Amino acid sequence: MSDDRAIPAWVRRVGPTIAQDTPDWFTRFAPPDDVARVSAVLILVGPDERGGEDIILTERTAHLRSHAGQVSFPGGRLDPGEGPVDAALRESHEEVGLDPSGVEIVDTLPPLYLTPSSNAVHPVIGWWSEPHPVGVKSAFEVERVVRAPVADLTDPANRFTVTAPGGYHGPGFEIEGLFVWGFTAQLLTTVLDAGGVARPWDEGRRRRLPLKMLSPYLRRWGGTGRR
């Protein structure tokens, strides 16, 4: 493998940094022992056309039962007897047409519990040195696929704090027309911070959750937007 296609140092740094100094987020959202549903997502980093790196993001379709219309990493539920790495690669193939043979697994991160879907999610970090075209392969689940440049993800102009009903606030990104918030935005933030590539941004810059993403909250709380 040539030097320009070697795994970047910042990508290798993410797992060890989190293992050495585990962010509070991983502690607060550690899955319970009796969790029934287990999934995996693939944080796939690769070289982009500008000499940097990018990360694959997907926009989920609006009709899904959970996390409809939201931005996520490719991934899904583990099949019986399947581990997180195999599941992340299989689901990425099924959703966006990724060829698993071209992916080098860099690390796995501690699982995180998504309360709304009662789901323990295992983040898997991968690197592909020779990206091939990817796109919507599962139209039922995926609306759009974007290879988001890390340079744009770390651009302070694309970052803000998201506010939502119930007092929620957390990191957000807007890139390539995607509004990234919640679990995906928090995981992206953690990865960029741990890799040492994040840039300072104005956490006081606040944006409300868009209406199409706000609807599930309004339905849950009787149309008031309050608990």
| Top-confidence residue, 167 or 211 | 167
Neighbours of 219 (CB within 10 A): 9
Q: Does residue 207 form part of some domain?
A: yes
For residue 83, the one-letter residue type is G
Q: How confident is the model at residue 224 (pLDDT cuts 50, 70, 90)?
A: very low
Of 33, 53, 83, 68, nearest to 188 (Cα)? Answer: 53
2-11, 69-78, 203-212: the lowest-pLDDT one = 2-11
Radius of gyration of the chain (CA): 17
Q: Does residue 98 form part of some domain?
A: yes
Residue 60 host element (H or E)? strand 53-60
129-141 per-position pLDDT tens digit: 999 999 999 778 8
Q: Does residue 225 form part of some domain?
A: no
| Top-confidence residue, 66 or 124 | 124
Q: Does residue 227 form part of some domain?
A: no
Q: Does residue 18 form part of some domain?
A: yes
Q: Does residue 226 form part of some domain?
A: no
159: containing domain: 3-220
Q: Does residue 93 form part of some domain?
A: yes
For residue 102, report the phi and psi dihedrals to the nearest 5 degrees: -95, 5
Q: What is the pTM of this model?
A: 0.91
Tell me, what CATH number does 63's domain have?
A: 3.90.79.10
Q: Where are the alpha helices (DSSP H) in the chain?
A: 9-20, 24-28, 84-96, 150-153, 182-195, 211-220
| Top-confidence residue, 49 or 226 | 49
35-52 per-position pLDDT tens digit: 889 999 999 999 999 899
Of 165, 158, 161, nearest to 225 (Cα)? Answer: 165
63-114 per-position pLDDT tens digit: 555 555 689 999 999 999 999 999 999 999 999 999 999 999 999 999 999 8
* Number of separate domains in the chain: 1
Q: What is the pLDDT of residue 193?
A: 98
- Which residue in the block uniquely carries the two structure tokens 């293992």? 19
Q: Does residue 87 form part of some domain?
A: yes
